[in-house]
Amino acid sequence: MLGPTDLSSSIGCLHDPGHEEVMKLLYTAEKAILSASCGTYLSGFAMPHNPPTEMHKHCYHMISGAVDVAIFRDAVIADVKANKDVVKR
């Protein structure tokens, strides 16, 4: 799973996953993964600068959206429900 935000942070371009150097590294990683002969495939996160349509052209098999936000939302909802149960008692 290629994470452009993690990659950008790793090379000092925090909060800029569309930076030219990040994109170069991403494309290099894609080529290396696709050229491996061990049954690998590409998966990653869609971003405004790299939408699902472009990722599909680069042979991605799995494309995720804003999953971090969804996970956070689910955690918040679980906390609210747990607190409501405590208050009702």
How many angstroms separate the CA atoms of 28 and 26, rounded?
5
In this predicted structure, the answer to whether residue 89 has a pLDDT above a threshold of 80 is: no
Confidence at 22, pLDDT banded by 50, 70, 90: very high
Q: What is the mean pLDDT of residues 61-86?
A: 83
Cα angle 74-71-21, degrees, rounded to a multiple of 5? 160
**Amino acid at site 20:** E
pLDDT band for 59, please (50, 70, 90 cuts): very high
CA 10/CA 32 separation, integer angstroms: 19
Inter-residue contact 41 to 61 (CB < 8 Å): yes
